[in-house]
Structure 1
């Protein structure tokens, strides 16, 4: 049985320890390789240099997540990972997560948000470009499976 479509407004908040099972399940269903482990998520939940966001609607329904890293000595934040539940794709969840990541970067004094995306992920590339990201480079064989990546950036 398929879950009902997303109809409520998307809400983004900082992840909590109680979200760990949902975070790990989405990570495992979304990525074949280059996954964050349960221990890594747990570490990032308590880290000053990382922010784990979750998107929900309809009373805590878990729709997606984003992980943002902040490094000391730089004013550039990095969108490390973003994933949405299949039934939530195309419903504004990714855009809401990215907007929250950008706001967190601005709040911390960052002047830009950067990310990497697989060259073959046309849906994500269109989303980033629609949201004002520009391609600033590329990496050959960036991912564990040998896939190439584009690097994008948006001024905050």
Structure 2
């Protein structure tokens, strides 16, 4: 299954490995101005059976993006915690590719739905999620460390 628009070359997405830790931390610093995950948090998530850390990379360009999905015991809802793309990869459909891979990872775990939060001022991310079939289900005031509000979205994941 391809996880990219037809006009864009496919950037492969795979499960992250401990060897990706430095690149993940560097991408986090580059992609986000706040609410960043620490090296220790990434290390913990890479080893956790309740998380899927996915990365998109190429031999020529290195790590271009990542997605982090959390799974709760006894729940059929996955939570997309983060999608990050390197500045050099923006506009290439990578966000959609990572989102589709995150959904596939959730389906593989038996999840029937995915939830996520997005900054209310992140119109590009909201457009991506809405194009992918996510619907807004709630609002969180002061959700981010800088006090910004968030929308909560949800999508049902049909079995493939």
TM-score of the superposition, structure 1-length normalised? 0.92
Task: Show the counterpart of 2:83.
Answer: 82
Shift of the alpha carbon at 1:32?
2.1
Match status 1:70 vs 2:71: yes
Match status 1:112 vs 2:113: yes
Task: Show the counterpart of 1:4.
Answer: none
Q: Hey, what's the Cα distance between the residues in 2 that align with 1:44 and 1:29?
A: 19
RMSD: 1.3
Shift of the alpha carbon at 1:58?
4.6
TM-score of the superposition, structure 2-length normalised? 0.90
Q: Which runs of 5+ in 1 are unaligned?
A: 1-6
Q: Hey, what's the Cα distance between the residues in 2 that align with 1:53 and 1:23?
A: 10
SS of the residue 2:133 aligns to: coil
Task: Show the counterpart of 1:42.
Answer: 43
Is contact 1:8-1:58 (8 Å) kept? Answer: no
Runs of 4+ in 1 over 6 A off after TM superposition: none
Moved more, 65-74 or 55-64: 55-64
Is contact 1:79-1:113 (8 Å) kept? Answer: yes
Is contact 1:114-1:154 (8 Å) kept? Answer: yes
Alignment of 1:1-156 (within 5 A): 8-59=9-60, 61-156=62-157
Is contact 1:8-1:57 (8 Å) kept? Answer: no
Moved more, 59-68 or 136-145: 59-68
The alignment of Structure 1 onto Structure 2 pairs a total of residues equal to 150
Q: Hey, what's the Cα distance between the residues in 2 that align with 1:144 and 1:59?
A: 35
